[in-house]
């Protein structure tokens, strides 16, 4: 697949719109250098309509329409689109980019979108951790059977290469364990509590920065971390874990006093997600821990970090500094470039 490539976006919110505007600029140039001319032939949303145009949608106009609260129906040439599933079943595309909101209870409708697209013979790229946390084995199997790829770099730590590092840079290596501070909201809140803020005040600050999930309990109760832990265990360690099975404790019970007391003892409280391979099972947990200040996971502020313990390559650490929507959009570009390696096979 090189030359003209048709891309369909299901979800056109913060990530989708940022990705689309970069596609009009630097991303479009990078893809062209790979010999790929990208055309967005379909966009589906929840409340802003959906549109298909087999010749390519007017992307700048789509962005203006959705930003002004209008409906994509104004540029639809693809007949009535009753639901996002109908859209995925019908859109003329080579790649589906799945960026609808996370449903931490079951990973839907994203998992159905991914499954349907793979069965139709589309490659799938997603930043949605739901399908990776709830159906990784099934979806990678479906992709294999249909000769397609299911790529999901943006599901954990935005564009920081977690999955691609393991997949392409650590051949022959087994991941034995990981531990991470992967939720920027709780990282920020616990930092602010260390400086005297209450949980409620710190949450308001995180919300003003736009980093909190639509339902804050997804962050505070450790659900986001549990979903990310499952995504890592499933994709890096061959597990078939589900978020409901993770031993999970959030930060609701952590008082500013406990955070300051830890600080006096030279520690920082962080919500840590752990995965440990014991026998053939990966044990997953999420809970607040007091980490020594020198611990790579004990950074100050919202930055996320992950340590991966391996059999042949010791322990590897990754930190994402100043993560933003740009890094998430980059994850989608990185996955697209993986689908279209250059002549030397370089991804």
Binding site residues, ligand NAP, CB under 6 A: 10-16, 44-48, 84, 99-102, 109, 127-128, 154, 158, 325, 328
Shortest Cβ distance from residue 180 to ligand NAP (Å)? 14
Shortest Cβ distance from residue 41 to ligand NAP (Å)? 16
Nearer to ligand NAP (CB atom), residue 127 or residue 232: 127
Nearer to ligand NAP (CB atom), residue 231 or residue 307: 231
Residues contacting residue 306 through CB under 8 Å, at least 6 positions apart:
156, 157, 162, 178, 179, 180, 181, 182, 232, 317, 318, 319
Q: Which two tokens stand for residue 51?
A: 């549109």
Q: Which two tokens stand for residue 91?
A: 């859109």
Q: Which residues pair with 39 in a beta bridge?
A: 6
Nearer to ligand NAP (CB atom), residue 46 or residue 73: 46
Shortest Cβ distance from residue 210 to ligand NAP (Å)? 8
Nearer to ligand NAP (CB atom), residue 269 or residue 334: 334
What is the phi/psi pair of residue 276, to 5°?
-130, 125
Name the residue whose CB lies closest to ligand NAP: 13
The tally of CA atoms less than 13 A away on the side-chain side of residue 85 is 6
Shortest Cβ distance from residue 10 to ligand NAP (Å)? 5
Nearer to ligand NAP (CB atom), residue 91 or residue 239: 91
Tell me if residue 135 falls in helix, strand or coil: helix
Please report, for residues 125, 159, 296, 308, 335, the alpha-carbon distance to residue 95 in angstroms, rounded to integers and kept in the order given: 7, 19, 37, 31, 11
Query: What is the rounded CA–CA span in Å between residue 30 and residue 332?
Result: 13
Q: Which two tokens stand for residue 314?
A: 């010791």
Q: Which residues pair with 43 in a beta bridge?
A: 9, 51
Residue numbers annotated as active site: 228
Query: What is the rounded CA–CA span in Å between residue 176 and residue 318?
Result: 16
Give the strand order in the sheet containing 50-52: 50-52, 36-44, 3-10, 95-98, 123-126, 150-151
Shortest Cβ distance from residue 286 to ligand NAP (Å)? 17
Shortest Cβ distance from residue 80 to ligand NAP (Å)? 15
Nearer to ligand NAP (CB atom), residue 92 or residue 238: 92
């Amino acid at each position: 697949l090189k030359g003209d490539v048709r891309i369909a976006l299901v979800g056109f919110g913060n990530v989708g719109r940022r990705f689309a505007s970069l596609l009009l600029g630097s991303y479009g140039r990078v893809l062209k250098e790979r010999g790929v001319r990208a055309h967005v032939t379909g966009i589906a949303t929840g409340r802003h309509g959906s549109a298909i145009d087999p010749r390519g949608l007017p992307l700048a106009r789509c962005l203006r329409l959705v930003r002004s609260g209008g409906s994509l129906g104004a540029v639809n040439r693809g007949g009535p689109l009753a639901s996002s599933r109908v859209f995925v079943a019908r859109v003329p595309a080579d790649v589906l980019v799945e960026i609808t909101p996370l449903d931490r209870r079951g990973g839907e409708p994203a998992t159905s979108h991914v499954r349907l697209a793979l069965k139709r013979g589309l490659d799938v790229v997603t930043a949605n951790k739901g399908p990776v946390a709830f159906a990784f084995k099934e979806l990678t199997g479906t992709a294999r059977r249909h000769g397609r790829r299911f790529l999901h770099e943006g599901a954990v730590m935005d564009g920081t290469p977690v999955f691609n590092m393991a997949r392409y840079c650590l051949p022959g290596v087994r991941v034995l364990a990981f531990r991470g501070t992967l939720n920027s909201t709780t990282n920020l809140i616990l930092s602010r509590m260390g400086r005297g803020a209450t949980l409620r005040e710190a949450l308001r600050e995180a919300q003003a920065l736009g980093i909190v999930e639509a339902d804050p309990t997804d962050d505070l109760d450790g659900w986001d971390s549990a979903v990310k832990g499952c995504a890592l265990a499933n994709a890096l360690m061959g597990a078939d874990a589900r978020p409901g099975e993770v031993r999970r404790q959030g930060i609701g019970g952590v008082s500013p006093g406990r955070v300051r007391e830890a600080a006096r003892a030279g520690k920082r409280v962080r919500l840590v997600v752990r995965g440990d391979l014991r026998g053939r099972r990966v044990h997953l947990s999420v809970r607040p821990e007091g980490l020594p200040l020198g611990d790579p996971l004990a950074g100050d502020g919202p930055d996320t970090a992950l340590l991966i313990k391996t059999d042949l390559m010791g322990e590897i650490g990754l930190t994402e500094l100043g993560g933003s929507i740009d890094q998430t959009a980059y994850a989608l570009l990185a996955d697209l470039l993986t689908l279209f390696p250059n002549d030397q096979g370089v991804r």
